[in-house]
Structure 1
Amino acid sequence: MLSSLTTAAARPGPRRGRRRRTVRTAVAGLAALGTAAALAACGGGDTGGGGETGDEATGGTSDVTVGLVTKTDSNPFFVRMREAAQEAAEENGARLVALAGEFDGDNEGQVAAIENLVTQGVDGILITPNSSTGILQAIADARAQGVLVIALDTATDPEDAVDATFATDNREAGRLQGAWVKGALGDTAPVLAMLDGTPGGTVDTFRHEGFLEGMGLSENSPEIAGMENTNGDQTKAQTAMENLYSRNTEINSVYTINEPAARGAYQALSDAGAADKVVIGSIDGSCDGVQAVKDGEIGATVMQFPDKMAADGVAAVVQYAQDGTKPSGFTDTGSQLITDKPVEGLESQDTAWGLENCWG
């Protein structure tokens, strides 16, 4: 089922044909928009249609309508992405319709959301795919209708299934996490637990592979004590960590797909009286996640910039609606290692910087 929000700011218009319309409001500063959004200060929070439909539509003065489909509408990462997209749409005189899956992994909900948006006549769709392959036909159908489709945060497989991708280089983010964990262990041999995300997602695969590269390990290395999928959920991660640690109390390092998984791992290890014996790394850069680094619960995290992904995506859709220009290829929206325990040879920022630049 589709998850969505509704406001009275604007209502979706009728289905239109292939878009070759002009923007009523002049579009200024598109190139600078993404950079400005990436500098947005943080608040609080942490890191995440078919049947009954609804939408969040904002703006309403322009002929340009931007659709946004996130994995969920509750994960603070996607909440912030939606907020940034709304801000960018308002700045560009466009209208935003935001939909989401019910949970991380809800591919059917996202397929229905794309169909919903195409029916509403959007000019472009920004999507963070739950499944990098399961969403392909819906994307192809949308593009055949003249809708620009841009992947945010999570690439499709193949990558050229969409017009363009604006995302973190997740393999590099994973590598930074792994290199930091390796450096933090020093001369101690790793006994590693891996708390993965959702099978089938490129984000999950790239971060996992990048982490192993940073650690100097392979998929079958004996240093890996066990792997569990967590869907990036704190409760599932806590249970997974409890299971892994009960089977091997020599575990001294943990890879986590995101900060909720890291906090779940920390809670399990804390309950077992082992939190101070295990190095935990993560990825996200939420304000709660950075605070957890400052508090010593997570050793380091790699910050992403969802504001920039959303702002660049909205600007690209507006540009497309204005003159038909399409973006292409992969745009790296950046990543930054955050820790108060720097490792030699790895560029990092401390948590003071992190709390000034975090999201959520």
Structure 2
Amino acid sequence: MFKTALSAAAAAALLSMSAAAVAADQPIIGLITKTETNPFFVKMKEGAQAEAKKLGAKLMSASGKKDGDTAAQITAIENMVTAGAKTILITSSGDAILPAVKKAQAKGVQIIALDSPFDGADALFATDNYKAGILIGQYAKAALGGKPAKIAMLDLFPGHPVGAQRHNGFMNGFGLKANDAKSNELSATPETVCAADTDGNQAKGQTAMENCLQKDPAINVVYTINEPAAAGAYNALKKAGKADQVIVVSVDGGCEGVANVGKGVIAATSQQYPLKMAAMGVAAGVEYAKTGKKASGYVDTGVALIAAKAVPGVDSQSVKVGTDLCWGKK
């Protein structure tokens, strides 16, 4: 009996050791997005899942209920660390996550920012959002054809780094002076006649545009933080009978947004590639698990201007190209 019991205990120990070895061979990588419904983050998750499967990693995922939900992101960081994640990929909703990030790093967890930069991340894999803004600023300037500009700036919300980068890139691409890189406040130029925050939301984008038109009905250029806000702005312009008098530009490159470029809702959009961001992040996580080598610095995951109508002096790709590379439902 004693020998049988000992044999059973030894077998259990061997099974336990085997499970630990399997776990070691399958690194856990976390992905935390701002929301789970935005097509941008849906595509990001798809890219992470595909790359994790390809490389033999286990993916954990979580998200906030809305952009700005840092409480949910903090909880997700803590849960992933407890579960044994060695790398966590985060699209940050705000600086409130930074203490949780530092605690995770102190435990040896690699933290990679995707799309949205934040202080203290080991690396950033993202679109150059400033360049994305420059491209649509240059396009709007050229499309206006020398007419005096009256610009509405439909932003994200104050203090968000991506919002500031796109805003300031647009301003400088248009040839106007912007504020510092961490601000998206309305710059003191005669061309910018209205500014409003939209939270990247279509309904708020429509309300913001309606308010701007009340302030100045002669607005002829609209910068929007993303394509849902652009769709909302267009609804307000159409309702006011001004849809064909205003140049609307945006950033994202989702399939719905690219389709709206083809329909004339948006004149041009800067397309980014969330699937690539996530896939590269997962690969970096697997590399860290295997070799201990962390990713570092900024990795540009690309941006391209998509426009239905090309303008002189500004490089752009066709709606067909944008559709082939877009994310979300086609």
Q: TM-score higher than 0.5 here? A: yes
Whether 2:105 is the aligned partner of 1:143: answer yes
Give the match's secondary structure for 2:165. Answer: helix
**Partner Cα separation in structure 1 for residue 305 and residue 152 of structure 2:** 21
**Partner Cα separation in structure 2 for residue 177 and residue 62 of structure 1:** 45
Q: Which residue of 1 aligns with 2:153?
A: 194
Whether 2:262 is the aligned partner of 1:299: answer no
Aligned residue identity for 1:63:
Q
**Relative to structure 2, which stretch is displaced further, 62-71 or 310-319?**
62-71
Instruction: Report matched runs for 1:8-157 at 5 Å.
Output: 62-131=25-94, 133-156=95-118
Aligned residue identity for 2:123:
A
* Aligned mate of 1:255, from 219, 223, 229: 223
Cα offset, 1:121, TM superposition: 1.2
Structure 2: segments with no counterpart, 5+ residues: 1-19, 178-186
Identical pairs, percent: 50
CA deviation vs aligned residue, 1:285-318 (integer Å, no higher than 9, x gap): 0011000000111000000010110000000000
**Partner Cα separation in structure 2 for residue 297 and residue 62 of structure 1:** 49
**Partner Cα separation in structure 1 for residue 89 and residue 291 of structure 2:** 18
Aligned residue identity for 1:143:
Q
**Partner Cα separation in structure 2 for residue 113 and residue 221 of structure 1:** 42
**Partner Cα separation in structure 2 for residue 271 and residue 120 of structure 1:** 51
Instruction: Report matched runs for 1:236-315 at 5 Å.
Output: 236-315=204-283
Contact 2:36 2:65 in 1 (8 A): yes
Whether 2:129 is the aligned partner of 1:178: answer no
Q: Which residue of 2 aligns with 1:335?
A: 303
**Relative to structure 2, which stretch is displaced further, 72-81 or 62-71?**
62-71
RMSD: 1.4
**Partner Cα separation in structure 2 for residue 201 and residue 88 of structure 1:** 29
**Partner Cα separation in structure 1 for residue 79 and residue 198 of structure 2:** 29
**Partner Cα separation in structure 1 for residue 316 and residue 25 of structure 2:** 42
Q: Which residue of 2 aligns with 1:351?
A: 319
Q: Which residue of 2 aligns with 1:209?
A: 168
CA deviation vs aligned residue, 1:148-190 (integer Å, no higher than 9, x gap): 100000101x3xx011000000000011111111111011111
Q: Which residue of 2 aligns with 1:44?
A: none
Give the match's secondary structure for 2:96. Answer: coil
**Partner Cα separation in structure 1 for residue 259 and residue 316 of structure 2:** 16
Whether 2:131 is the aligned partner of 1:163: answer no
**Partner Cα separation in structure 2 for residue 211 and residue 134 of structure 1:** 27
CA deviation vs aligned residue, 1:93-147 (integer Å, no higher than 9, x gap): 111111001101111221111111111111110000011x222111111100111
Contact 1:62 1:95 in 2 (8 A): no
Contact 2:115 2:125 in 1 (8 A): yes
What count of residue pairs does the alignment treat as equivalent? 300
Aligned residue identity for 2:41:
F
Contact 2:194 2:215 in 1 (8 A): no
From the two aligned structures, give the one with the greater helix fraction: 2
Aligned residue identity for 2:100:
A
Cα offset, 1:62, TM superposition: 4.8
**Partner Cα separation in structure 1 for residue 261 and residue 76 of structure 2:** 36
Contact 1:105 1:198 in 2 (8 A): no
**Partner Cα separation in structure 2 for residue 61 and residue 288 of structure 1:** 41
TM-score w.r.t. the length of structure 1 is 0.81
Structure 1: segments with no counterpart, 5+ residues: 1-20, 25-59
Contact 1:61 1:93 in 2 (8 A): no
Give the match's secondary structure for 2:32. Answer: strand
Whether 2:193 is the aligned partner of 1:225: answer yes
Q: Which residue of 2 aligns with 1:30?
A: none
TM-score w.r.t. the length of structure 2 is 0.89
**Partner Cα separation in structure 2 for residue 135 and residue 180 of structure 1:** 36
Contact 1:61 1:95 in 2 (8 A): no
